[in-house]
Amino acid sequence: MSTSAHSPVGASAPTVAPDPAGGTVTDRLVEANIQYAAEFRDPGMDARPVLRVAVVACMDARLDLHDALGLSLGDCHTIRNAGGVVTDDVIRSLTISQRALGTRSIILIHHTNCGLESITEEFRHELEEEVGQRPVWAVEAYKDADQDVRQSMQRVRTSPFLLYTDDVRGFVFDVTTGLLREVFPAS
């Protein structure tokens, strides 16, 4: 993972993601969707998660949340972003999840060896220099996953928009073992 917003010297950014099979990766994914849709049958569910739980997790491709948590289609709302941190937009999604769609529990999942541990807020300044505009968002970089999980739990528990904050639990997923380790709030 690059810690800089700039491309390496002499390198130019590719315009499309190449696919070894020809075409772009997006072309391959659209083709896979056509095959999926040919076998698809409407499961007859609505948007309300069966288990009434929302999971906030990192977008890292190594986390297969449904398999890791034993979930099936329709069981939960899944909200993912870089780091799995609780941002204003995550609060927005959780608020809609609770108030409009009936969730009552929230699970927060960070993971070991996260890319956010290797960058800093300087990333925003580099972006500003490169594109001439400072991002309005924070990188939310961190060095200690446990502490960041605690901060995310605190953000959820103190949000005035969330009705149900008594069942908020945080975890760190180990990308080498697949196990979750619970993180408890600061006393």
Q: 3-class secondary structure for the chain?
A: CCCCCCCCCCCCCCCCCECCCCCEHHHHHHHHHHHHHHHCCCCCCCCCCCCCEEEEEECCCCCCHHHHHCCCCCCEEEEEEHHHCCCHHHHHHHHHHHHCCCCCEEEEEEECCCHHHCCCCHHHHHHHHHHCCCCCCCCCCCCCHHHHHHHHHHHHHCCCCCCCCCCEEEEEECCCCCCEEEECCCC
Find, among 139, 150, 165, the residue nearest to 87 by Cα.
139
Looking at the chain, the whole-number percentage of residues with pLDDT higher than 70 is 89
pLDDT bucket at 12, cuts 50 / 70 / 90:
low
- Name the average pLDDT for the chain: 91
CB 4: neighbour CB atoms within 10 A?
12
Task: Determine contact, residues 126/6, Cβ cutoff 8 Å.
Answer: yes
Please report where in the chains the tokens 């890791």 appear, as a residue.
68
- Please check the confidence at residue 110 and state whether its pLDDT lies above 80: yes
pLDDT bucket at 187, cuts 50 / 70 / 90:
confident
The mean pLDDT value for 140-153 works out to 96
pLDDT tens, 29-62?
A: 999 999 999 999 998 999 999 999 999 999 999 9
- Please check the confidence at residue 2 and state whether its pLDDT lies above 50: no
CA distances from 136 to 117, 124, 127, 139, 156 (A): 21, 9, 11, 10, 21
CB 72: neighbour CB atoms within 10 A?
10
Looking at the chain, the whole-number percentage of residues with pLDDT higher than 90 is 84
pLDDT bucket at 183, cuts 50 / 70 / 90:
very high
- Please check the confidence at residue 19 and state whether its pLDDT lies above 70: no
List the beta bridge partners of residue 76: 53
pTM reported for the whole predicted model: 0.86
- Please check the confidence at residue 5 and state whether its pLDDT lies above 70: no
